[in-house]
Amino acid sequence: MTENNGIEKVSPAETGTAQQSSTPAQRPTPADAAPKPGAHGPKPGVPKPGVPRPGAHKSSVPTPQEAPRPSAPQEHPHPVMAPTVSDPSQWGRVDDDGTAWVKTGDTERMIGSWQAGDAAEGLAHFGRRFDDLATEVGLLEARLAAGTDARKTKTSATALAESLPTAAVIGDLDSLEQRLRAIVEHSDEAAAQAKEEKERSRHEQTERKEALCAEAEQIAADSTQWKSAGDRLREIFEEWKTIRGVDRKVDDALWRRFSKAREAFNRRRGAHFAELDRDRAAAKSHKEELCAQAEELASSTDWATTAATFRDLLAEWKAAGRAPREADDHLWRRFKSAQDVFFGARNAAASERDAEFEHNATAKLELLAGVEERVATHLESDLDAARGALRDLQEKWDAIGKVPRERMQELEGRLRALEKQVRDAVDAQWRRTDPEAMARAAQFRERVSQFEEQAAKAQAAGRARDAEKALEQAKQWREWADAAEGAVTRR
């Protein structure tokens, strides 16, 4: 009878248990497929994808005695790939009649019959099948060490361990069984650790989203930095999408919070810019009116009043706020153009006026020089001529007109000095001929005489004290009389 692929055979005399035991081992795939009764192993000599061809590089592969046996399960076992068995004869045999045996513990178990070649080829064949089985165990160990779905790994390891008693392979099945047992024993711990890690990660990710929600709500409530706040909300959204593992119900609640905050911010920002648009429209309308007023004033020659009006218009312009950028720039050019026309005309008029004022200043200087010379000549000898020259200057002074502001003090100062010089000379002449002053001096002399007579009479009467007092008074009035006469003579 031919089984599997026609290479393994069982003689007609071998029936019952022997025929059943020749069925290849049912091995689950690394993807956790459970063994099924009657499943056949890979064809002899054809390795699975990703598994080294049995027997390749035998010189570099350790023997079963050299291969490390799994110890007790560790907290974090390293991935272990089963080495290829280079000498399956240590774990079983194939008799000359093709009967295949494997050692398990202290007993042997018949696993099938080999009729496709000599005993050595059959032994190698069953050894390669053991290598395939050991490779699957190594993959399960690696998957468990990597923390990949410990429950499925346990299910696969359990199914694989249950298939070992009937596996048609030759190799260290006891060691393989220990490794599978270690995988099964460690799977629950790994599953618990994975669950704990998942819970911890879920908690951390939940806290991250809660923090992002709180920040978004703070931005929505307070921020008026519309550009930077909007950018930050977009960054929060991008970060939000990278956070995984949050409980669905919690995640939905947090998402509603974040969405609500974002919508609140967008509403506030939209309201702000809507109001800003209204303000800018009002500013545009106001500035258009200001432009019209400025253009009406541009041709005015009422320099002082119009300049003050332009200053008021400019203050209103600044207080009006900004219109939309393009309109604001255009309106400002209109306003400034009208302003420049007026002030340009005023400056031109001012330049012409300044030239006239400078000419007037020169004329006044020449006039002053002539009069100063005449006054200096006639001040002592002919005061009336000096006074006439001053009157002539005063009449012509106002007729000449205005002078530059910076020269007014100099010219007016020289005029006032000349006027004072003539006035002082007139006052001095009047004081010298003042009859009241002369009469006052004579009265003082008369009083001196009266007090001297009183002193003489008091002295003759023996009133020494009265005489002394009268003399003191006479002395005082004499000083006053001398002062009055001196003032008249000094003039």
The top-scoring range by mean pLDDT among 141-145, 374-378, 437-441, 484-488 is 141-145
For residue 90, what are its two tokens?
């240590």
Max distance between CA atoms of the chain, in angstroms, equals 202
What does DSSP assign to residue 100?
Answer: E
Residues 70, 137 within the same domain: yes
In-domain check, residue 154 = yes
pLDDT in the model for residue 27? 39
- For the chain, give the mean pLDDT: 77
Residues 135, 218 within the same domain: no
pLDDT at position 63 over 70:
no
Could you tell me if residue 57 is left (phi over 0), alpha (psi between -120 and 50 degrees) or otherwise beta? left
Note the pTM of the prediction, 2 decimals: 0.42
Q: Which helix (H) or strand (E) holds 343?
A: helix 325-378
In-domain check, residue 319 = yes
End residue of a domain, out of 280, 311, 342: 280
Please give the residue range of the domain that contains residue 472. 435-490
Q: Which helix (H) or strand (E) holds 8?
A: strand 8-9
Cα 43 to Cα 24, 46, 129, 170: the distances in Å are 10, 6, 9, 16
What does DSSP assign to residue 98?
Answer: S
What is the rounded CA–CA span in Å between residue 7 and residue 94?
Answer: 14
For residue 355, what are its two tokens?
């030239």
pLDDT at position 75 over 70:
no
Among 107-116, 139-148, 366-375, name the one with the lowest average pLDDT. Answer: 366-375
pLDDT in the model for residue 434? 63
Residues 187, 203 within the same domain: no
Helix and strand numbers, DSSP H then E, in the chain: 12, 5
Start-to-end C-alpha separation, the chain? 171
In-domain check, residue 286 = no
pLDDT at position 31 over 60:
no
What is the rounded CA–CA span in Å between residue 449 and residue 7?
Answer: 181
| Stronger pLDDT, 10 or 396, i.e. the higher one | 396
Residues 157, 203 within the same domain: no
Residues 101, 72 within the same domain: yes
pLDDT at position 36 over 60:
no
pLDDT in the model for residue 441? 72
In-domain check, residue 285 = no
Sequence-separated (6 or more) residues with CB below 8 Å from residue 150: 144, 187, 188, 190, 191, 194
Q: Where are the beta strands (DSSP E) in 22-145?
A: 92-94, 99-104, 107-113
- Chain Cα centroid distance, residue 204: 28
Query: What phi, psi does 101 have (nearest 5°)?
Result: -130, 145
Q: Are 422 and 390 in contact (CB under 8 A)?
A: yes
Q: Which helix (H) or strand (E) holds 3?
A: strand 2-3
pLDDT at position 38 over 80:
no
Residues 98, 221 within the same domain: no
Residues 382, 428 within the same domain: yes
- Assign 398 to helix, strand or coil: helix
pLDDT in the model for residue 255? 95
- Assign 80 to helix, strand or coil: coil
- Chain Cα centroid distance, residue 46: 65
Residues 407, 444 within the same domain: no
In-domain check, residue 472 = yes
pLDDT digits (tens, 9 = 90+) for 216-233: 999 999 899 999 999 999
Question: Residue ranges of the alpha helices (H) in 223-247?
Answer: 226-242
* Structural domains in the chain (count): 4
Q: Are 333 and 293 in contact (CB under 8 A)?
A: no
End residue of a domain, out of 226, 258, 280: 280
pLDDT at position 10 over 70:
no
Residues 40, 140 within the same domain: yes
Residues 57, 148 within the same domain: yes
Residue 488 confidence class, pLDDT cut points 50, 70, 90: low
What is the rounded CA–CA span in Å between residue 48 and residue 132?
Answer: 8
In-domain check, residue 289 = no
- Which of 178, 171, 194, 3 has its CA nearest to residue 87? 171
End residue of a domain, out of 248, 280, 312: 280
pLDDT digits (tens, 9 = 90+) for 379-412: 767 777 777 777 878 888 888 888 888 888 888 8
| Stronger pLDDT, 5 or 469, i.e. the higher one | 469
The C-alpha R_g of the chain, in whole angstroms, comes to 65
Q: Which helix (H) or strand (E) holds 286?
A: helix 248-297
Residues 259, 315 within the same domain: no
Residues 157, 10 within the same domain: yes
Helix axes 325-378, 303-319, angle to 10 degrees: 150
pLDDT at position 275 over 80:
yes
114 DSSP β-pair partners = 8
